[in-house]
Amino acid sequence: MPKRRDILAIVLIVLPWTLLITVWHQGAINPLLAARKDDRHESRRDSRNTFTLKKPCSAENNKDIVEVVHTEYVYSRPPPWAAVLPTLHVVTPTYSRPVQKAELTRLANTFLHVPNLHWILVEDSPRRTPLVIRLLRETSLNYTHLNVETPRNYKLRGDTRDPRIPRGTMQRNLALRWLRETFSSNNRHSQPGIVYFADDDNTYSLELFEEMRSTRKVSVWPVAFVGGLRYESPKVNTLGMVYGWKTVFDPHRPFAIDMAGFAVNLRLILFKPQAYFKLRGVKGGYQESSLLRELVTLNDLEPKAANCTKVRNLIVVLCGSVDRAWCLQCYGCGFDSTHKKIYALTTVSFSG
C-alpha cells in the first residue's frame, strides 16, 4: 500500500500537466466556436435583409412582352430612408458591352445619394449575367433584377444603328408589368411612388430626383445633348403650361421628348394598365409618345426646373458617337447663363 507521501508527490506531478493540457485545449477550440457563432449571426442578418422571389411572371396577351427567365428582388434598405417620401422606381434597360460595368457603376454611385430609390435593372439577355448580379449586390441599393431578351429581328444589325428599331422597349415594358403585378392600385395605404426611365449611358443631376418626387401625373424638364441640339426642352407659357417642344427632330410628335425628360406617378401607371411602349408599328423617336399618349394629354404635363427656365452649367463628355464639329462646339461654348436649366445630361463623346 503506497504511503501518503508518495500519493502527494504523484498529485503534485499530475496536476500541473492536467491544467496545462486544459488551457491548451480551450485555446484551440474557442476560435472555432467564435467563427461558427459569427457565421450563424451573419446568416440570420442576411435572412432578415434579403427576400428572393424566384417565381416567373405569368404570361400575358401583350405581344410586346415576352416571358421572364428569372426574377430576383433583393431588399437591403440603405440610409437615408424616409417613410414620408415617395419611392423613386428607376427603370434602367442594359445590355452586355465593354463599357457596361463602368456605366452601371457611375449610375449606381449617383443613386446612392438619392433617398428612397428602388432600382429596376432589366438586362437584354436570356439570363441574368454574373457581372450585373455581382455589381448589384455590391451597391447596397434597393434593386430588382429582371431579364428579357429582345428578338433578333429587333436588334441592331452590325455596327450601324437603325433608327426604326427601338432599343430597350421590351425591357421597359417588363419593368412596367412587374410594377403592376407587385403593387395594387386598390391599396391606398401603400407608399406613393414615381416611375422614371434612366438609361445606363446617361448622367443625372441629384436635383432631378428631388424635383420629380412631387409629380402628380407626368412631369417634364429639359435634357442636354439630344437630337443634335445643346438641349431639348418643353415650351412653357406664362401660365406654366406646356404648349410645344424645342427640338429639331419632328417637333410635331405628340410628345417630342427624350426618355430622360419625364417621370410618371406610379398610381397613374397602375390605373392605366393598357399603357406600354409600343414595339411594332412605331417610327423611330415615337417610343415616348406611344406610352405618354396612353397616360396624359399635353395639358396634364407638369414642367419642372422653374418652368424649364433655370440654368445648369454642366457638360459631360463620355462614350458615344456624335458629330465631332457639333461636339466641339457644344463642349467648347457651354451654355448661356440666361437659357435653360439642364437636369438630365445625355452623354456624348468625340468620334473618329
Length of the chain (residues): 352
Query: Residue 131 is placed in which grid cell?
Result: 457581372
- 52 CA to centre of own chain: 18
Return contacts of 282-288, CB within 8 angstroms, 24+ apart: 282/166, 283/164, 284/163, 284/164, 284/165, 284/166, 285/163, 285/249, 285/250, 285/253, 286/253, 287/166, 287/169, 287/259, 288/255, 288/257, 288/258, 288/259, 288/261, 288/262
Alpha helices in the chain (DSSP H): 4-49, 100-111, 130-139, 169-182, 206-212, 266-271, 287-292, 305-308, 324-333
Local structure of residue 317 (DSSP, 8 states): B
CA atoms within 13 A on the CB side of 153: 2
Q: Which of 103, 232, 288, 302 is catalytic?
A: 288
Residues annotated within the binding site are 201
Q: Which residues, listed in sequence order, are joined to residue 233 by a DSSP beta bridge?
A: 246
Q: Which residues contact 321 (CB under 8 A, 6 or more apart)?
A: 349, 351
Q: Which three cell numbers stand for residue 137?
A: 449586390
User: Is the N-terminal amide bond of 80 cis, ω within 30° of 0?
Assistant: yes
**210: annotated active-site residue:** no
- Which positions make up the binding site for Mn(2+)? 201
Q: How distant, in Å, are the alpha carbons of 20, 25, 26, 252 from that of 13?
A: 12, 19, 21, 102
Q: Which residues are catalytic?
A: 288
